[in-house]
Amino acid sequence: MSGFRAPVGDILYTLDACGADTLPDWDAELVAQIAESFAAFAEAEIAPINASGDTQGARLENGRVRMPDGFRAVFDRYRADGWTGLTAPETHGGQGLGAVALAVTSEIFSGANHSLQMVTGLVPGAIRVLMEFGTEAQCAALIPPLAEGRWISTMCLTEPGAGSDLARIRCRAERDGDGWRISGEKIFISGGDQDLSEGIFHLVLARTGDADSGVKGLSLFACLSDRADGTRNSVTVTRIEEKMGLHAAPTCQMVFDGAEAQLIGAEGQGLRAMFTMMNHARIDVALQGVAHAARAHAIAASYCAERVQGRGADGAPVTLDQHSDVRHMLDGMQARALLGRAIAHTAIITLERGDDPDLVEFLTPIAKHFGSEIGTEAADLGIQCLGGYGYLSEYGIEQIWRDARICRIYEGANGIHALTLAGRLMRGPAVDRFAAFLDRNLTCSGTRAAWDAACAVLRNTADPAPLARDFMELSTLALCRSLASRFEGHEGQAAIASYLEDRAGMAGLIAARMARRGQ
């Protein structure tokens, strides 16, 4: 298997092409230095333990989670180099950089070792929640350990009876003097326990209202793994899930048995606070998918450039990448990675600029949906390019497929994001802001006419659910065509053109199908 090489050039190119220079205080040279420095660390330290971590996996021993060999040593170096505090406020021990710098390192991290990124990657979101909803005292006490890497954060939402439907959460929080105690069960908690950091900072969504209060009865709590006196809090991991992929990332079933906690924000505002973390996390998931697509393409392109199979039209032996079918698959992989990154970067740059929140709201579900889909699509194509070798563990693409598959499920299943786009976002200003974006960037009149027709169908239907998948596909296609011109002169320009040519006429077909279904 070819060694991991971070796609630093493509990342920096796309940031520039998507308008990073419109951000206040944008420093392209600094971001390039950060990308190159983290890429060197990821290539030398993080990536080499990816395959071994997948083979060994995390394990539960005597009620505590043990990470695979080498993970603690790599995290110690990650922490010592200051990467844990990259975006934390300087006033609380961090470096104060923005979300764009984090997007750069997060993609590289995910491509090198998704499991380790998964366990460590929620810290910036937790800090963001504290900064927006915590008190000054909470920020002063809780952010520095996170920024320093002494604590790693989790996000505890899901329960056995409450997956995407958070109104069904039953985990309860009760007042206990000046504090609170949490009791209940949570499942599918990434990094619910680990032996990398000194402590764990659990953000827990729990019910403070009555059983029938729905999401309005949910509040957000900080629940530390250890009490102030150094003893373990009443938080127990009862099992680690056996998963298809991400074997080195412990996915935990947890029990809170009167665990000490403190309220973050106001009672009944837990979902609002948690979504501060989740909206950024969804763009992060998009970049996880992009990272997998880029890595799958790199492996397949390297293999196919060296593997001699068959003959060309002149009868001479040729490498696999000279065969049209294989070239088409390689181009499709490259185009997916480039366009997925462009969508995610457009979303995160617009979010950081802060001048068009409604556009961000429309871009985010598209970024998450497309980014997570292309991860497995590219891996699947890569397996096909390598033939029988792609099906083996030796080249690593089968692990990419397994690791990437969860991206279409967590941080909101993709069908839910499609329904959000066709439902709630069609009834507010977000769709108008996306239309304005298309006005500025989409030159394909046929795609624009089809998208406008689809919007008209949705506005006149009582139930958008049967049309949601089609509208997501059409909106994504319109966005991809809008961004394609940004790659003029890039080595992937022809691959993108081929990818979009395969979809010529598709916009009209989708709009026509929506019109029939919407009658």
Which tens digit of pLDDT belongs to each residue from 327-360? 999 999 999 999 999 999 999 999 999 999 999 9
Number of Cβ within 10 Å of residue 505's Cβ equals 10
Residue 28 has pLDDT above 70, yes or no: yes
Kindly state the average pLDDT of the residues 104-112: 98
In a domain, 53, yes or no: no
Residue 2: predicted pLDDT: 75
**For residue 29, what pLDDT band results from cuts at 50, 70 and 90?**
very high
Closest CA to 134 of 191, 106, 92: 92
The whole-number pLDDT of residue 209 equals: 86
Tell me the pLDDT tens digit for each residue of 371-408. Answer: 999 999 999 999 999 999 999 999 999 999 999 999 99
Question: Is residue 513 in some structural domain?
Answer: yes
Q: Which contiguous run of DSSP H or E holds residue 516?
A: helix 506-517
Domain count, the chain: 1
Q: What is the DSSP string of 327-377?
A: HHHHHHHHHHHHHHHHHHHHHHHHHHH-S-HHHHHHHHHHHHHHHHHHHHH
Q: What letter does residue 28 receive in the DSSP assignment?
A: H
Does residue 453 sit within a domain?
A: yes
pLDDT, tens digit (0-9, with 9 covering 90-100), for 224-260 = 999 999 999 999 999 999 999 999 999 999 999 999 9
What is the distance between the alpha carbons of residues 287 and 35, in angstroms, rounded to a whole number?
Answer: 15
Q: What is the Cα Rg of the chain in Å? A: 23
User: Is 260 inside a domain boundary?
Assistant: no
Q: Could you give the maximum distance between any two Cα atoms of the chain, in Å?
A: 84
199-220 mean pLDDT:
91
Q: Is pLDDT of 277 > 80? A: no
Section 133-161 average pLDDT: 96
* Domain with 464 in it: 413-518
Q: Are 331 and 494 in contact (CB under 8 A)?
A: yes
Q: What is the mean pLDDT of residues 160-164?
A: 84
What value does the mean pLDDT take over residues 459-464? Answer: 94
| Distance set, CA 491 to CA 13, 171, 443, 456, 495 (Å) | 11, 52, 22, 38, 8
Determine, yes or no, domain membership for 158. Answer: no
Task: Tell me the pLDDT tens digit for each residue of 470-484.
Answer: 999 999 999 999 999
User: Can you list the alpha helix ranges (DSSP code H) found in 149-242?
Assistant: none
Give me 74's structure tokens. Answer: 């790599």
Q: Is the pLDDT of residue 271 over 80?
A: yes
* Type of residue found at 112: A
pLDDT score recorded for residue 1: 62
How many helices (H) and strands (E) are present in the chain, helices listed first?
17, 11
Residue 276 lies in a domain: no
Residue range 442-458: mean pLDDT, rounded? 96
* Residue 278: per-residue pLDDT: 77
Residue 161 pLDDT grade (very low, low, confident, very high; cuts 50, 70, 90): confident
The DSSP annotation for 217-231 comes to GEEEEEEESB-TTSP
Residue 494 in domain: yes
The beta-strand segments (E) located in 216-313 are 218-224, 235-240, 251-264, 308-311
Catalytic-labelled residue, pool 148, 373, 411, 473: 411
* 236-257 b/e (C-beta count within 10 Å ≥ 16 → b): bbeebeebebbbbbbbbbbebe
Task: Indicate whether 202 belongs to any domain.
Answer: no
Neighbours of 345 (CB within 10 A): 29
What's the whole-number average pLDDT of the chain?
A: 95
71-75, 167-171, 227-231, range with greatest mean pLDDT: 71-75
- The per-residue pLDDT for 112 is 98
| SS3 state at 412 | coil
pLDDT tens digits, one per residue of 406-435: 999 998 899 999 999 999 999 999 999 999
Give 203's contacts (C-beta < 8 A, 6+ positions apart). Answer: 126, 129, 153, 154, 155, 156, 220, 221, 222, 223, 264, 274, 277
DSSP annotation of 135: -
Which runs of consecutive H residues, i.e. helices, occur in 405-504? 414-422, 430-441, 445-459, 468-484, 493-501
Query: Tell me, what's the pLDDT at 279?
Result: 75
What is the number of alpha carbons within 13 Å of residue 93 lying toward its C-beta?
A: 19
- Catalytic-residue membership of 411: yes
The three-class DSSP label of residue 97 is coil
How far apart are alpha carbons 155 and 106 in whole angstroms? Answer: 18
The whole-number pLDDT of residue 165 equals 81
Q: What share of the chain is helix, strand, coil (3-state, %, to 5)?
A: 60, 15, 25
